[in-house]
Amino acid sequence: MKRPTWVTVVGVLGILFGICGLFVSGQVAAMPTIMEWQKRFLETMPIDRTADGQNAEQFKQMMRGFFGDQPSWFGPACVALGVIGLVVNGFYIFASVTLLQLKANAARLFTTVLGVSIALGLTRAVVMMNGFSFLAVPTLMSGLVGVVLDIVLLVVIATADKSVLGQPVTP
């Protein structure tokens, strides 16, 4: 049986989004450690007392403002969301491959993974906003873009003819 175009497009995009999600999840899990390294580097940066020293001190003060003070729960929450994201995106890739193979329950599995991915993206956005740091902004933005893309894939699957997957056509 010939694979419909929507299956190929959604399956390939799902694999790509899953791989990108793995990278983002790794970044989220490592964020507390990276922020701590950057804070330590900033504090150990030497400052001379010349005119350039004043500029360096102003730079350090500005960077302290970017880091902000995260609540004590922010680090463990980032690690937990990162690990959960690795698992979810692993299943995202698995569901995409299953869809490309035209397995009987592939659309249902992919829809479930999309729902979990959307929930994870929204949860990650709430955590990033509440534990705000300037360094969390790119992760927040990429997560929200991911949620929008997941919703688009969800709409495509919901409206597509799934009879090729052994599922009845819904009116």
171 in a domain, yes or no?
Answer: no
**What is the predicted pLDDT for the residue at 135?**
61
155 in a domain, yes or no?
Answer: yes
CB–CB of 3/162 below 8 Å?
no
Total domains, the chain? 1
**What is the predicted pLDDT for the residue at 40?**
80
The answer to whether the predicted template modeling score (pTM) of the entire model surpasses 0.75 is yes
Q: Encode pLDDT of 3-15 as tens digits.
A: 889 999 999 999 9
- Both tokens assigned to 110: 């992919």
Tell me which residue range forms the domain holding 109: 5-160
Q: Give residue 126's region: left, alpha or beta (phi > 0; psi -120 to 50).
A: alpha
Q: Encode pLDDT of 111-123 as tens digits.
A: 999 999 999 999 9
- For residues 153 and 71, give the distance between their C-alpha atoms in angstroms, rounded to a whole number: 35
105 in a domain, yes or no?
Answer: yes
Task: List CB contacts of 68: < 8 A, sequence separation 6 or more.
Answer: 132, 133, 134
166 in a domain, yes or no?
Answer: no
168 in a domain, yes or no?
Answer: no
Mean pLDDT calculated for residue range 52-81:
75
Q: Encode pLDDT of 34-61 as tens digits.
A: 878 877 877 776 666 555 556 667 776 7
137 in a domain, yes or no?
Answer: yes
118 in a domain, yes or no?
Answer: yes
167 in a domain, yes or no?
Answer: no
Q: Encode pLDDT of 127-166 as tens digits.
A: 887 776 666 677 778 778 989 999 999 999 999 888 877 6
